[in-house]
Amino acid sequence: MKNTYIILFIAFVVIVGGYFVYKNQDFTNEIKEMETENERPTGGFFSDILNFGFDYPSGPDGYVLENSETNDTNPNFVRSFLLMRSDDKNNIDKIPVGGEWPPMITILVLKNPENKTPAIWAEANKNYSNINLKTGDVVDFTIDGNSAIRYTADGLYMSDNVVVASGENIFVISGAYMDQESAIYKDFSTILSTVTFKGEIQAEQ
């Protein structure tokens, strides 16, 4: 089991490794961000290419969104997104060599050429879904009218995981957390509730 965690951690580092390469670059033109000047500003994201978007709390008490195109060799891999707590990003350079990354919300986008259901796809792609590390039942779920599954997994951190099929893509949305009292655990469901596949979203006013 320890070897499994090590392998998963290495895979996780590979996925987020693009962060260092792209952290100083702007998002590509198809990515649109909106912020308001509330006490806790809300950022909005939408990709015309993926036809996918969501809201997230930004600012000092919220998250920073990173768009990373990694060196994943899977021909079906499209893109990954990272939502990192702002205070964690500010301290990212203080992580010692070999140290653990902070828990974050990740979104993986992969092509689904065989049009598999989320449940079948997750079982066939455990290196992305981590469904082999689930700690309870897999429940049917719906996001913006799209079929999905949801489950908890226990790896480097506990994580809440959702696999949803939309159009030609599969989206794996995972929220890692230290415990259920942490902000990221509570924010995950809120962010998940704003996910849309139907058109550009607007940040909360």
Residue 95: how many CA atoms within 13 Å on its side-chain side? 14
Considering only residues 185 and 68, tell me which one the structure prediction assigns the higher pLDDT: 185
Sign of the alpha-carbon dihedral angle for 108, 109, 114, 120: positive
For residue 25, give every residue at least 6 positions away whose Cβ sits within 8 Å of its Cβ, in sequence order, or none: none
Question: How is residue 202 written in tokens?
Answer: 């607007």
Query: pLDDT category, 19, cuts 50, 70, 90?
Result: very low
**Each residue of 119-144: pLDDT tens digit?**
999 999 999 999 999 999 999 999 99
Cβ-based burial of 51 (10 A; exposed 0-12, middle 13-18, buried ≥19): middle
Average pLDDT over residues 81-90: 90
Predicted confidence at residue 94, as pLDDT, reads 77
pLDDT tens string 141-155? 999 999 999 999 998
Which band of pLDDT confidence, cut at 50, 70 and 90, is reported for residue 106?
Answer: very high
Residue 96 has pLDDT above 70, yes or no: yes
Mean pLDDT of 10-31: 42
Domain covering 2-192: architecture: 3-Layer(aba) Sandwich (3.40)
Burial (CB count <10 Å: 0-12, 13-18, 19+), residue 24? exposed
Contacting residues for 197 by C-beta, under 8 A, at least 6 apart: 51, 52, 143, 144, 145, 146, 166, 167
Task: Indicate whether 55 pLDDT > 60.
Answer: yes
| Residue 11 confidence class, pLDDT cut points 50, 70, 90 | very low
Sequence ranges of the domains in the chain: 2-192
User: For the chain, what percent of residues have pLDDT higher than 70?
Assistant: 75
* Structure confidence by residue, pLDDT tens digits, 164-196: 999 999 999 999 999 999 999 999 999 999 999
Q: What pLDDT is attached to residue 82?
A: 92
What mean pLDDT, rounded, does the chain reach?
80
CB 179 within 8 A of CB 126: no
